[in-house]
């Protein structure tokens, strides 16, 4: 299963963008901002981004490039269809981002 995830490029251009994540993703990932190429180093568990930065015990990092067509000055999480999709994931028993 794939689902959309929203990112905010705090360390670079200060824009929002989306990418797709799969529910079987687990480990170190580098999410690259499509607007400024800033790298966000995160651990992903069960397809959910955590606030944990890379961990040596999780192995090599795979690079995920954000979708350039979704770069925006305003957050996508205000969009009703995006919010509904996110609520289904989190209420579906898969846990929170910070687990």
pLDDT digits (tens, 9 = 90+) for 74-89: 887 666 666 666 666 5
Q: Could you tell me the pLDDT band of residue 4, with boundaries at 50, 70 and 90?
A: confident
In 1-99, the DSSP E strands lie at 2-8, 16-22, 27-32, 39-45, 48-49, 62-65
Nearest to 47 by CA among 11, 14, 86, 75: 86
Distance between CA atoms of 54 and 59, rounded to whole angstroms?
Answer: 9
What pLDDT shows up at residue 85? Answer: 64
Name the CA radius of gyration of the chain, rounded.
13
Strand order in the sheet with 48-49: 48-49, 39-45, 27-32, 62-65
Q: Where are the domains of the chain?
A: 2-91
pLDDT digits (tens, 9 = 90+) for 38-56: 999 999 988 888 888 888 8
Q: Is the pTM of this model over 0.85?
A: no
Distance between CA atoms of 68 and 92, rounded to whole angstroms?
Answer: 29
Token pair for 76: 């996508």
Higher pLDDT, 10 or 99: 10
């Amino acid at each position: 299963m794939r689902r959309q995830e929203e990112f905010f490029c705090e360390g670079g251009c200060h824009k929002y963008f989306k990418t797709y994540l799969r529910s079987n993703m687990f480990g170190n990932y580098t999410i690259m901002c499509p607007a400024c190429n800033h790298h966000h180093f995160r651990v992903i568990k069960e397809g959910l981004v955590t606030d944990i930065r890379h961990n040596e015990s999780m192995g090599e990092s795979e690079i995920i490039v954000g979708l350039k067509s979704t770069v925006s000055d305003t957050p996508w999480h205000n969009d009703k269809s995006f919010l509904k999709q996110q609520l289904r994931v989190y209420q579906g028993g898969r846990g929170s981002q910070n687990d």
